[in-house]
Amino acid sequence: MNAHDTSGTEGDGSPVTVLRAPIVLEYEYSAGQSASRFLRAIAEGRLLGQRCPVDGRVYFPSRGSCPQHAVTFGDEVVELSDKGTIVTFSIVRVPSKNIPLELPYITVNVLLDGADTILMHVLDADLDDVHMGMRVQAVWKPREEWTTSTENILFFRPIDEPDADYDSYKEHI
Amino acid sequence: MAELTAVVGIGQTKYEAKRDDLSMPGLVREAAERALADAGCSWADIDAVILGKAPDLFEGVMMPELFLNDALGGAYKPMLRVHTAGSVGGSTAIVAASMVQAGIHDRVLCVAYEKQSESNAIWALSISVPFSLATVAGAGGYFAPLVRGYIRRSGAPEDTGIRVAVKDRQNALRNPLAHLHLEDISFDLVANSPMLWDPIRYLETCPSSDGACALVMEKESLASRRPDKVAWIHATEMRSEPTMFSGRDQVMPRATLDNAKNLYRKAGITNPRREIDCAEIYVPFSWFEPMWMEGMLITERNQGWKMTYEGATAMDGDFPVNMSGGVLSSNPIGASGLIRFAEAARQVRGRADQHQVDGARKALGHAYGGGSQYFSTWIVSSEKP
């Protein structure tokens, strides 16, 4: 690794006051039981949520426990639709090094049918058309490319269904 | 009974996009020296140092308190690092105050900083968690959908945010330390600035700043002997909640409402709008002024935008907010919360110079951070409780 890059300060004779020192951090990450089950299912094109035993709400994606009630979810899984409702959204015109999308793009908070938590994703639609309550569906990669990855879903796209009622999703904003 | 505690010294650096005249130790040192001078203290008079900053990932310096200890005169003294995301400046002040309130130390130095020119905040805030998709570009990308939610819920006119942005930049013109001094600030200038994270425009966002802020706090028996006005700490409160859970109200989180209720109860305040003379509120994106006017129970639910619209939050309004220009005018992230707390203290000491609110006796300092999930606040006054 090249530790010291003084690019931008070479050649013009001015003193070097700042140097760039990239740091690489590699780490291993265990998915754990809950995420593993979720990832194996998504490799088959299925979306699995889990239910909180305290209030019965369905978490997707689930991390195996409820952040509000501090309880572990049981073995029950809830199969979800890949259709949902846009709860809120933004149109992003700011680049970020770690987001490989062309600007502008639409970020959406989607409430999947059957879920009680929102999923943050991107929407492929006309900028002028996107709105709260819009009905959308996941667009998947070709089946032969599916792996144990959330990237199996490329993006969401509007579908020809009437808008959801504001009251049906307002608590998820 | 806790020791009554006061802010007796305040120091701030000039906030700029790039303080390349100073290293990180030099930056914190500049603020600390000014706070000590203001308090009439030397390094030897300090019992402990409390340091706050935003995530280490920003500048890529892990545990920066270790290498800043020398610059802050911390050798052989207790030192503690505080970290609660964007609200950290506020939390740092509260932790420092608690050291004196608990009787552990007589006098402490509290410092918070950020050197954004040596960091990449958007990158640091857009790190992808394994097995999940990165779509949120920085803090603006996270908060823009919530702002849209607030607009839908409250029916606020779409130009409310523009009005906040103009007001805070006008206030900054009275504060020589502010990063942004936009002499030509106007409604049209903000309205015509590029839309970054719809509905948030470029001039409705905070700048990226270098800077540090420092406070000296001491116990009552010492502070009472001072001839100058000090800022007595009437109440502090810190609350948090998880980023995500089903049914979480991200626009108006329970943690902010609980924070406000408890703060006012501790401070003996029953009518915050009338009893508090002015406030420094953490507003990194313009719309958070009306949102936190509701979140801090200054006004009724969905009515916050009216305070902006009616001019209540202007310098000459009945509840001035961000007299210093706020986070919208200077944003060294880790210090931004402490600046709010410090500016509240300046007001009640009658030492806010050109942006002083006449006769301010009681002021609110506020910070929030994370995904609207950490809240830190305090009430300071020119009078003892």
Per-residue model confidence as pLDDT tens digits over B22-39: 999 999 999 999 999 999
Q: Does B137 touch chain A (CB under 8 A)?
A: yes
- CB contact at 8 A, B259 and B118: no
User: Coil, strand, or helix at residue B50?
Assistant: strand
- CB contact at 8 A, A155 and A124: yes
Asked if A121 and B135 come within 8 Å (Cβ–Cβ), the reply is yes
Q: In which band, very low, low, confident or very high, does the pLDDT at A8 lie, cut at 50, 70 and 90?
A: very low
Mean pLDDT confidence for B81-95? 95
Q: For A121, which of B122, B133, B245 is closest by C-beta distance?
A: B133
- Structural domains in chain B, CATH included, are 5-120+207-223 (3.40.47.10)
> Is residue B142's pLDDT more than 90?
no
Distance CA B273, CA B4 (A): 25
Q: For A98, which of B134, B140, B249 is closest by C-beta distance?
A: B134
Residue B242: which residues within 8 A CB-CB, separation 6 or more?
Answer: A67, A68, B248, B373
Q: Does B130 touch chain A (CB under 8 A)?
A: yes
- CB contact at 8 A, B114 and B124: no
Q: Identify whether B55 is preceded by a cis peptide bond (ω within 30 of 0).
A: no
Q: What is the phi/psi pair of residue B205, to 5°?
A: -110, 160
Paired tokens of A28? 């291993």
CATH 2.40.50 fits A81-173, yes or no: yes
Helices B254-267, B288-295: crossing angle, 10 deg rounding: 60
Paired tokens of A153? 């879903």
- CB contact at 8 A, B378 and B344: yes
Interface of B with A in 323-342 (CB under 8 A): none
**A147-163 burial: b if 16+ Cβ within 10 Å, else e:** ebeeebbebbebeeeee
Q: Does B25 touch chain A (CB under 8 A)?
A: no
Of all residues in chain B, what percent carry a pLDDT higher than 70?
97
Asked if B246 and A68 come within 8 Å (Cβ–Cβ), the reply is yes
CA nearest to B277, candidates B380, B177, B368: B380
B367 or A4, which is more confident? Answer: B367
Question: B250 contacts in A (CB within 8 Å)?
Answer: 173
Residue A112 DSSP code: E
Average pLDDT, chain B: 95
Question: B136 contacts in A (CB within 8 Å)?
Answer: 107, 120
What chain A residue is nearest to B250 in terms of C-alpha separation? A173
Shortest distance, CA A157 to any CA of chain B (angstroms): 16
Mean pLDDT confidence for B175-185? 98
> Is residue B345's pLDDT more than 70?
yes
User: Coil, strand, or helix at residue A84?
Assistant: strand
| pLDDT tens string B236-278 | 999 999 988 999 999 999 999 999 999 999 999 999 999 999 9
> What does the pLDDT read at residue A98?
66
Question: A66 contacts in B (CB within 8 Å)?
Answer: 245
Mean pLDDT confidence for B210-228? 97
> What does the pLDDT read at residue A3?
40
Distance CA A108, CA A111 (A): 10
Asked if B242 and A170 come within 8 Å (Cβ–Cβ), the reply is no
Residue type, position B178, single letter: A
Shortest distance, CA B18 to any CA of chain A (angstroms): 11
CA nearest to B24, candidates B74, B87, B67: B67
Q: What does the DSSP assignment read for A16-48?
A: P---B-----------HHHHHHHHHHHTTT-EE
Helices (DSSP H) in chain A: which residue ranges?
A: 32-42
Q: For B246, which of A90, A93, A117 is closest by C-beta distance?
A: A117
Asked if B152 and A132 come within 8 Å (Cβ–Cβ), the reply is yes
Asked if B122 and A150 come within 8 Å (Cβ–Cβ), the reply is no
Residue A18: which residues within 8 A CB-CB, separation 6 or more?
Answer: A9, B20, B118
Asked if A173 and B153 come within 8 Å (Cβ–Cβ), the reply is yes
> Is residue A1's pLDDT more than 50?
no
Asked if A91 and B127 come within 8 Å (Cβ–Cβ), the reply is no
Question: A132 contacts in B (CB within 8 Å)?
Answer: 148, 152
Q: For A92, which of B197, B242, B249 is closest by C-beta distance?
A: B197
Distance CA A118, CA B246 (A): 8
Q: In which band, very low, low, confident or very high, does the pLDDT at B40 lie, cut at 50, 70 and 90?
A: very high
| pLDDT tens string A42-101 | 999 999 999 999 999 999 988 899 999 999 998 889 999 999 999 999 999 988 776 777
Predicted TM-score (pTM) of the model is 0.94
Asked if B145 and A96 come within 8 Å (Cβ–Cβ), the reply is no
Q: 3-state SS string over B138-185?
A: HHHHHHHHHHHHHHHHHCCCCCHHHHHHHHHHHHHCCCCCCCCCCCCC
> What does the pLDDT read at residue B141?
84
Residue type, position B352, single letter: A
Each domain of chain A, given as residue ranges in start order, spans: 1-80, 81-173
Asked if A39 and B197 come within 8 Å (Cβ–Cβ), the reply is no
H/E element holding B191? helix B187-191
Shortest distance, CA B302 to any CA of chain A (angstroms): 14
A1 or A18, which is more confident? Answer: A18
| pLDDT tens string B276-320 | 999 999 999 999 999 999 999 999 999 999 999 999 999 999 999
Q: Does B26 touch chain A (CB under 8 A)?
A: no
